[in-house]
Structure 1
């Protein structure tokens, strides 16, 4: 068995890479994937040099360490950022949204229905908006929307 491993080192490294890949699928931590990359590099080294075990082990260690410390942190940051990380937050999407006054809105207080939720509201310039009037969100200040009768962000057409 040992004789086969020494003469077919590339195959042994490929088996190790495959096993590390399977462990990575089970753990999803990217550590074993980096080790698997080192094993693939060692398999390539074995195919080129024809069985220098010391050189293969050194190749495995060097490549695995480089992948672990150079590539893995970048990949983890990108994965944890997730899709749409550069997209607007929920409150950033609210300006320009229509809402309906539920309780008279003045410069100090009021209530509006916005996307099915009730929000505290106040008007922009002291204008008083009566119940059932359609208004638009101008900005969000904490848990209060500041509303106006003009849409500050028109939805039609192409915006630059």
Structure 2
């Protein structure tokens, strides 16, 4: 019978790898622990009950803990978020309010930009990116 539980454990392990939600892993562990029980009894009903009890106890007690532990890891800025904090050069004046956008060159790309504090920013000024809303950079003149 232990081969049955080994196969069940492998199936749940592979399914967890594909799903990766800390749900099926507990059933895989339950199946692997049931292998030990299968050496002491051939009764499939007892083995199944042990499998379900172990799996459900692990599911109810450890899922939230592991999900929080791995979800609260450090995040790294990627794609557009990595632009925040960088500096660019104004190539078309940025107006006084959000209706008067200008153009900023940043990392070789041209972006539409608006002033964060409502002050006009002249062509050639160095600006710092504070936020991105849609496809517009929210900038202010960089302090040296």
Q: Would you call these one fold, judging by a TM-score over 0.5?
A: yes
CA contact (8 A) 1:21 1:32 kept: no
CA deviation profile, 1:85-138 (whole Å, cap 9, x unmatched): x3347447512x1212121123233221223141222274735412xx141215
SS at match of 1:139: strand
1:121 aligns with 2:114: yes
Match of 1:65, SS? helix
Q: 2: distance between equivalents of 1:141 and 1:23?
A: 42
Q: Tell whether 2:32 aligns with 1:40.
A: yes
CA separation in 2, counterparts of 1:22 and 1:91?
A: 39
Instruction: Report the RMSD for the aligned CA atoms in angstroms.
Output: 3.5
Q: TM-score, normalised by structure 1?
A: 0.59
Query: For structure 1, which runs of at least 5 residues remain unmatched after alignment?
Result: 1-11, 152-160
TM-score (norm 2): 0.64
Partner Cα distance (2:24, 2:119) in 1: 62
TM-aligned CA distance change 1:15 to 1:31, over 3 Å: farther
Q: Which runs of 4+ in 1 moved over 4 A?
A: 72-79, 81-84
Gaps in structure 2 of 5+ consecutive residues: none
Which residue in 2 is equivalent to 1:101?
90
Paired position in structure 1 for 2:50: 59
Decide whether the 8 Å contact of 2:94 with 2:121 is kept in 1.
Answer: yes
Q: Contact (CA 8 Å) 1:24, 1:31: kept in 2 or not? A: no
Q: How many residues align?
A: 133
Larger Rg: 1
